[in-house]
Amino acid sequence: MLDRNKGIMIVGLGLIGGSYARGLKQAGYRVGAVTRSADTLGYALDKGWIDEGATSLDASFAANYDIIVLALYPGVLLEWLAANRQFFKKGTLVTDVTGIKCAVVYRAQEILGPGIEFIGAHPMAGREVYGIRNADNAIFKGANYLVTPTPANTTEAVECCEELGRTLGFGRISRLSPEKHDEMIGFLSQLTHCIAVALMTCRDTSNFPEYTGDSFRDLTRIARINADMWTELFLQNREALLEQTDLFIAQMQRIRDAVASGDAQALKQWMTLSTERRTLFDK
């Protein structure tokens, strides 16, 4: 189980990695960090968010840590694991923070092999800004934290990972399979980001800001998007995202056709269903 004698290493000190470090240090853990930027390490050390840092891993640094949190983009994550697996001590628990799971979890388990356990996690929190200078563990308060075990995971690892989420202040901790996770995130998160981007790029909008109401602002808040990260997330979750996007486009097309043919009855039925369903999503 997770206890304050355990050392936790964070790999990657961006918005999420930095916020993990800050929150775990606050909770009394010994926190080390590995990140390529010496400047970032210096900032985190100055702030007291980490106890020590390194710009690259070696066996003596790794020996101090029982848990490793990979706070890297999915592609880099797998590369980093393959290159650094040799330094991990036996019994280390490795987890992550990426927003897609199938493409990461199974490959990570394969790379690590026996003796070192990987368990996927997705902290559902973020901001429209990034980098260590925006790190703030307050973003986790009340948010969802998803653990995505596979048949290869032990109960101890699942519980330890859940405890990590509770320690960081997440509001709801859930377990679901990597497949179910990716379907759900394809719909709730990735498709919504596609929609926001499509809205902002489907036509010239330069004359519109002065007329904009809150509906449009709310719908496009997430149109300010980290292009590198989200492109990678979209492409690594290709099948699930395409399935959800196609469902949405087909329904948009049906609504469009009902407007074109003046089918008031169909429009009202969808609006009534939409109103009913949305009620369940109220906080």
Q: Scanning residues 114 to 153, which ones bind a copy of itself (CB under 8 A)?
A: 124-125, 143-144, 146
Residue 179 in contact with a copy of itself, rule: CB under 8 A: no
Q: Which stretch binds a copy of itself (CB under 8 A): 56-64, 82-90, 101-109, 217-225?
A: 217-225
Contact 1, 156 (CB under 8 A): yes
Q: Which residue in 60, 113, 151, 280 binds a copy of itself (CB under 8 A)? A: 280
Which residues from 22-81 bind a copy of itself, rule CB under 8 A? none
Contact 136, 107 (CB under 8 A): no
Name which of 98 and 244 has its Cβ closer to a copy of itself.
Answer: 244
Interface size with a copy of itself, residues (CB under 8 A): 85
What is the nearest approach in angstroms of a copy of itself to the Cβ of residue 203? 5
DSSP state letter for 281: T
Residue 95: beta bridge partners?
A: 69, 119
d(Cα 230, Cα 93) in Å, to the nearest integer? 27
Secondary element (H or E) of residue 148: strand 144-148
Contact 32, 90 (CB under 8 A): no
What is the nearest approach in angstroms of a copy of itself to the Cβ of residue 262? 6
Question: String of b and e for 53-88 (b: at least 16 CB within 10 Å)?
Answer: bbeebeeebbeebbbbbbbbbbeebbebbeebeeeb
Q: Which residue in 37, 64, 174, 177 binds a copy of itself (CB under 8 A)? A: 174
Which residues from 2-31 bind a copy of itself, rule CB under 8 A? none
d(Cα 270, Cα 281) in Å, to the nearest integer? 17
What is the nearest approach in angstroms of a copy of itself to the Cβ of residue 169? 16
> What is the number of other CB atoms lying within 10 angstroms of the CB of residue 3?
10
Name which of 84 and 148 has its Cβ closer to a copy of itself.
Answer: 148
DSSP state letter for 176: -
Secondary element (H or E) of residue 40: helix 38-47
Tokens 């934290």 sit on residue: 145
What is the nearest approach in angstroms of a copy of itself to the Cβ of residue 218? 4
What binding mask, one character per residue, do residues 224-243 give for a copy of itself by CB under 8 A, x or -?
Answer: xxxxx-xxx-xx--x--xx-
Measured distance between the N- and C-terminal CA atoms of the chain, rounded to whole angstroms:
32
Name which of 14 and 186 has its Cβ closer to a copy of itself.
Answer: 186
Q: Which residue in 38, 129, 138, 249 binds a copy of itself (CB under 8 A)? A: 249
What is the nearest approach in angstroms of a copy of itself to the Cβ of residue 154? 24
Name which of 46 and 282 has its Cβ closer to a copy of itself.
Answer: 282
- Which class for 6: exposed (0-12), middle (13-18), buried (19 or more C-beta within 10 A)? middle
Q: Which residue in 24, 34, 168, 197 binds a copy of itself (CB under 8 A)? A: 197
Name which of 89 and 224 has its Cβ closer to a copy of itself.
Answer: 224
What is the nearest approach in angstroms of a copy of itself to the Cβ of residue 132? 20
Q: Which stretch binds a copy of itself (CB under 8 A): 65-73, 83-91, 129-137, 255-263?
A: 255-263
Q: What does R_g of the chain's alpha carbons equal in angstroms? A: 21
Residue 90 in contact with a copy of itself, rule: CB under 8 A: no
